[in-house]
Chain A
Amino acid sequence: MAQIIVVTSGKGGVGKTTSSAAIGTGLALRGHKTVIVDFDVGLRNLDLIMGCERRVVYDFINVIHNEATLSQALIKDKRLDNLYVLAASQTRDKEALNKEGVARVIEELKKDFEYIICDSPAGIETGAHLAMYFADIAIVVTNPEVSSVRDSDRILGLLASKSQRAEKGEEPIKEHLLLTRYNPERVARGEMLSVDDVEEILSIGLLGVIPESQAVLKASNQGVPVILDDQSDAGQAYSDAVDRLLGKEVKHRFLEVQKKGLLQRLFGGRE
């Protein structure tokens, strides 16, 4: 049975697209046929981060409006042959999305894919609503700051009340917290909320903590999902998160301030 995963946040710029690309790629790497769908109509970004922007001919909106078939619009990843992208349109606006159209495309994708990742736009308007509406699983991307946590809370409320599962009275959407751009130094200085603070406020399970990392910018400039940079802290943290999503128990890493001194390097850390 295909699983529909929405990557959502409420607040903009917290790392939804970065996470959609990384998690989608991670699932494909582990042998699951996966498609990542960009719901951010008008601001397409996913194709850039996935490095397929030069191969977009038809997009999600074309399929919704029967201007192209799904197979014409699906872009195959150049690195993994069980990974696909459905790009958003840059020329249309959010009104081009409608529930019936999205439902039809999702139904069709479910026949062919194990995982359908929906990269939500920011906000709580049409695009964000439709991205979450059909979800089985939600990954709520949150930065360790008060405004982002508030918006995530709001989104969790909508997941619990405005999704198809909620409206039909089915089992609720499975909710996961993904804390991104985590900077242990700034947490230690009290400039950011800690993992514990955020977990306590949102009271949902922690899927992963992705450190603030240069590797993310480098990866997105190169059009390579950061999870493929397995030497980087962010890449490893996303890998762990994907393993947890698939049910593995993996210890959380990158939560503490890096120990850089010579003595610490000689004698190792605490782990």
Chain B
Amino acid sequence: MNQADLTDQDPIFRLKGNMLAVTVLELARNDLARLDRQLADKVAKAPSFFNDTPVLLGLEQLTAADAELDLGALLDICRRHGLLALGARASRPGDIQAADELGLPLLPSASGRERPVAEPQTPEPAEEPVEEAAPAEPPLQPTLVITRPVRGGQQIYARGGDLVVLSTVSPGAELLADGNIHVYGPLRGRVLAGASGNAEARIFCQQLTAELLSIAGRYKVAEDLRRSPQWGKPVHVSLSGDVLNITRL
């Protein structure tokens, strides 16, 4: 790079609108010991479930009745279980101040309330408007294609992308992907799509006999799945709101 480039007036960055799907860890109460236990439980069931998963801390449910939150300790707990806090939403002044002190970005509340701390008013850029929020372009990872059977005790994770399995998935085997999961052999194991919180992820299979289906953390276990008329059938699974929809292919 030469000197001339440094004085170049061409912008070297662009501001792009973006709609990221990110998991929110919403605290119902200030009980960190219990949170620690429950996260440990979840991780024990699906070891790489939280694999440096980015999360947003939802602290808005905390009320004045809750004790003051030790935000540092909460961040520690998250880190220990493989959750990376990107920022927080908070309503109690104490929590907002704590986030500021720890340098944790505060995001607007889900309800649309604005962050109630003083903020310099930056005018909207007049000339070039920020590029409009075209749907996010996630970095595209190549699809992971597995042609051999996935056996009990094995775990396959397609980080940042889709997973396609052309063979059988045995009981006790676990498939994870940040994107979609397709299984073309008999499916008897556990399947977790949208493992880092992507609620748009889907699961496709030729024979629904899974032990567990999960999209972005919402799951159904075999006991529930067996009651479904779709058990054993080719299906497509998607998430709408909080509900896993299982539809015949």
Please give the residue numbers on chain A whose beta carbons come within 8 Å of chain B beta carbons, in ascending order: 150, 153-154, 156-158, 160-161, 172, 200-201, 203
Contact between A153 and B186, CB atoms less than 8 A apart: no
Cβ contacts under 8 Å, B150 to chain A: 157
| For the complex of A and B, 10 pairs with smallest distance between CB atoms | A157-B151, A157-B154, A153-B170, A154-B152, A153-B152, A156-B151, A154-B153, A153-B151, A203-B168, A157-B153
Q: A160-B151, A203-B149 are in contact. Are A153 and B171 (CB under 8 A)?
A: yes
CA gap between A28 and B150 in the complex, in Å: 35
The verdict on A200 contacting B186 (CB below 8 Å), with A154-B153, A157-B151, A157-B152 known, is yes
Show 7 residue pairs from A and B whose CB-CB distance is below 8 angstroms, ordered by the A residue.
A153-B151, A153-B171, A158-B151, A158-B153, A200-B186, A201-B188, A203-B185
Q: Which residues does chain A contribute within 8 Å of B201, judged by CB atoms?
A: none
Complex Cα spacing A200 to B171, Å: 13
Contact of B148 with A by CB under 8 A: yes
Shortest beta-carbon distance from A230 to chain B in Å: 36
Measured CB to CB, the nearest residue on chain B to A203 is B168
In chain A, what residue has the closest Cβ to B186? A200
List the B side residues contacting A150 at CB < 8 Å.
152, 171-172
Quick one: closest B residue to A151, CB to CB?
A: B152
How distant is the Cα of A203 from the Cα of B184 in the complex, in angstroms?
A: 14
- Decide yes or no whether B30 CB sits under 8 A from chain A: no
Contacts of A172 in B (CB 8 A): 148
Q: Looking across the interface, which residue of chain B has its beta carbon closest to that of A157?
A: B151
- Segment 149-200 of B: residues with Cβ below 8 Å from A: 149-154, 167-168, 170-173, 185-186, 188
Task: Give the residues in chain B near A153, CB-CB below 8 Å.
Answer: 151-152, 170-172
B170 touches A161 (CB 8 A): no
Interface size of B by Cβ–Cβ distance < 8 Å? 16
Interchain nearest-CB distance for A240 vs B (Å):
26
The residues of B that contact A201 with a CB separation of less than 8 Å are: 168, 170, 188
Interface string of B137-154 (1 = CB under 8 A from A): 000000000001111111
What are the residues of chain B within 8 A of A161 when measuring CB–CB?
A: 154
In the complex with contacts A157-B153, A161-B154, A203-B171 CB distance below 8 A: no
A residues less than 8 Å from B167 (CB atoms): 203
Residues of A within 8 A of B151 (CB): 153-154, 156-158, 160
Minimum distance in angstroms from B131 CB to a CB of chain A: 44
Residues from chain B with Cβ under 8 Å of A203 in the complex: 149, 167-168, 185
Of all chain B residues, the one with the shortest Cβ separation from A204 is: B149
Chain A residue at minimal CB-CB distance from B154? A157
In the bound assembly, the distance between CA atoms of A200 and B81 in angstroms comes to: 38
Residues of B within 8 A of A154 (CB): 151-153, 172
CB distance from A124 to the nearest CB of B (A): 8
Asked if residues B149 and A156 are in contact (CB atoms below 8 Å), the reply is: yes
User: What residues on B are CB-neighbors of A200 within 8 Å?
Assistant: 186
Residues from chain A with Cβ under 8 Å of B154 in the complex? 157, 160-161
Most buried by A among B149, B168, B171, B188: B149
For A150, A153, A156, A158, which residue has the most chain B Cβ atoms within 10 angstroms? A153
CB distance from B185 to the nearest CB of A (A): 8
A158 neighbours in B (Cβ, 8 Å): 151, 153
Nearest-CB distance from B48 to chain A (Å)?
15
Contacts of A156 in B (CB 8 A): 149, 151
A200 to B173, CA, bound (A): 16
Give A161 to B149 CA distance when docked, in angstroms: 12
Query: Which of B151, B171, B172, B188 counts the most A-chain CB atoms under 10 A from its CB?
Result: B151
